[in-house]
Amino acid sequence: MLSIAPHVVAATVLAESFSAHLGPLAVSKAATEGIGGLALIALAVIGLVLAAIASAARGVAAAMIELLRLAAVTMAITALSFAIVLGLLYLLIHN
């Protein structure tokens, strides 16, 4: 059976011996640089997600504008049709 446990132990031992040579300040600085890189990646991912949300919001806004435009045209056609029917009824009743 394969396991990564021996590799993890070996990496830990090597890291301990390496950090003993560098001193605690260098180790904490290396850890901080790694966290800074992760923070930069996290900010980039957050920025991409916000850009995607903004793009989707613009698409939804455009769709809503088209829907409202269609509703306005439909109301205008309905009002015109209603006016024509009332005019025809008026002509039929008074003639």
Q: Is pLDDT above 70 for 21? A: no
pLDDT of residue 1: 46
* Mean pLDDT on 81-94: 93
Decide: 29 and 37 in contact? Cβ < 8 Å.
no
Q: What is the per-residue pLDDT across 28-62, written as a single tens digit (0 to 9) for each?
A: 565 556 666 677 778 888 888 898 898 899 999 99
pLDDT of residue 28: 56
Stretch (H or E) spanning 94: helix 24-94
pLDDT of residue 45: 87
pTM: 0.47
Distance CA 56, CA 49 (A): 11
Domain containing 20: what range? Answer: 5-94
Q: In the structure encoding, which two tokens stand for residue 9, read together?
A: 């132990």
How many domains does the structure of the chain reveal? 1
